[in-house]
Amino acid sequence: MLQNKEVNRESAKAEGVIKSRALYTPDERIKRDKSVWTLVQGVLAPIQFLVFLISLVLVLRYLATGEGQNIAIWSIVIKTITLYTIMITGCIWEKVVFDCYLFAPAFYWEDVFSMLVLALHTAYLVALFTDTLTTQQLMYLALAAYATYVVNAGQFIWKLRIARLDHAKQQAAMAATGGAA
């Protein structure tokens, strides 16, 4: 019996009968569009990415040449501060839009992976200020943190792309039915 349900579900998916949940409900979309925190996130995300790129170059330069140790170390601290800032404001944004500070169903896996990103960046700060790793080890820890950041940023970019496509589909359906969708 269970196997038949799975087969029916798979065939319904293939035929497009089962619809996936849109990223935002109409009410959540309104909250998102009205929230100042949406603008804050939209401004902070590219700033954080720019800080990441600069820091990445400085870290790789240090690892390749041994030059620029202090600027590489402090660029990672600045990157971590920007990460904390966007995480705090992102939690506020999620509370406004989804009524929970973290792990809203629409962004659950992005938030889960964000915890790993935060943990690695925080581990860097702890290791730096407790002097438990060599400078080279710190740089490799930062690169691990940066790799998780890139994956996480990709998750969010993908999710935002899906939201735009969902919204375009909804708009097209409304236009096709004369606004009755």
Count of domains observed in the chain: 1
Report yes or no on 3 lying in a domain.
no
Mean pLDDT of 12-39: 75
| Residue range of the domain that includes 67 | 26-99+108-176
Do 41 and 89 contact (CB within 8 A), yes or no? Answer: yes
Report yes or no on 124 lying in a domain.
yes
Report yes or no on 10 lying in a domain.
no
> Highest mean pLDDT: which of 73-82, 93-102, 149-158?
73-82
Lowest mean pLDDT among 12-26, 35-49, 80-94, 148-162: 12-26
Do 69 and 103 contact (CB within 8 A), yes or no? Answer: no
pLDDT for the residue numbered 20: 56
Lowest mean pLDDT among 60-74, 94-108, 110-124: 94-108
Long-range pairs of 34-38 with CB within 8 A, sequence gap ≥ 24 = 35/93, 35/96, 35/97, 37/89, 37/92, 37/93, 37/96, 38/93, 38/97
Amino acid identity at 44? L
Pair of tokens at residue 166: 């969902």
As a 3-state breakdown, the chain gives helix, strand, coil percent values, each rounded to 5, of: 85, 0, 15
| Percent of the chain residues topping a pLDDT of 90 | 64
Report yes or no on 16 lying in a domain.
no
Report yes or no on 77 lying in a domain.
yes
Amino acid identity at 60? L
pLDDT digits (tens, 9 = 90+) for 41-90: 999 999 999 999 999 999 999 999 999 999 999 999 999 999 999 999 99
**Distances from the Cα of 34 to the Cαs of 28, 39, 59, 96, 103, in angstroms?**
10, 9, 39, 10, 21
Report yes or no on 153 lying in a domain.
yes
